[in-house]
Amino acid sequence: MAASTRKTVELFYDVVSPYSWIAFEVMCRYKTKWNIDLKLKPFFLGGIMVGSDNKPPGLVPNKAKYMLSHDLSRLGSYYSIPIVPPANPAEVMFVKGTLMPQRFLTAVDMQRPDLVENLSRQFWMRAWNKDKGISDEEGIRETCKEIGFPSDLMEDCLQKTKDPAVKDRLKKFTTEALDLGAFGSPIIVAHVNNKPEMIFGSDRFPILAKILNEEWMGPLTEMAKAKL
pLDDT tens digits, one per residue of 135-174: 999 999 999 999 999 999 999 999 999 999 999 999 999 9
Q: What pLDDT shows up at residue 228?
A: 59
Who contacts 137 (Cβ-Cβ below 8 Å, separation ≥6)? 100, 158
Q: What pLDDT shows up at residue 2?
A: 44
pLDDT tier at 104, thresholds 50, 70, 90: very high
Buried b (16+ CB within 10 A) or exposed e, 32-55: eebebebebbbbbbbbbbebeeee
Read off φ and ψ for residue 227, nearest 5 degrees: -125, 155
Q: Could you give the CA distance from residue 220 to residue 228 in angstroms, rounded to a whole number? A: 18
Radius of gyration of the chain from Cα atoms? Answer: 17
7-221: CATH topology is Glutaredoxin (3.40.30)
Domain segments of the chain: what residues?
Answer: 7-221
Read off φ and ψ for residue 2, nearest 5 degrees: -70, 145
| Average pLDDT estimate for 45-72 | 92
As a whole number of Å, the end-to-end CA separation of the chain is 43
pLDDT tier at 1, thresholds 50, 70, 90: very low
Q: Judge whether residue 3 has pLDDT over 80.
A: no
Overall size of the chain counted in residues: 228
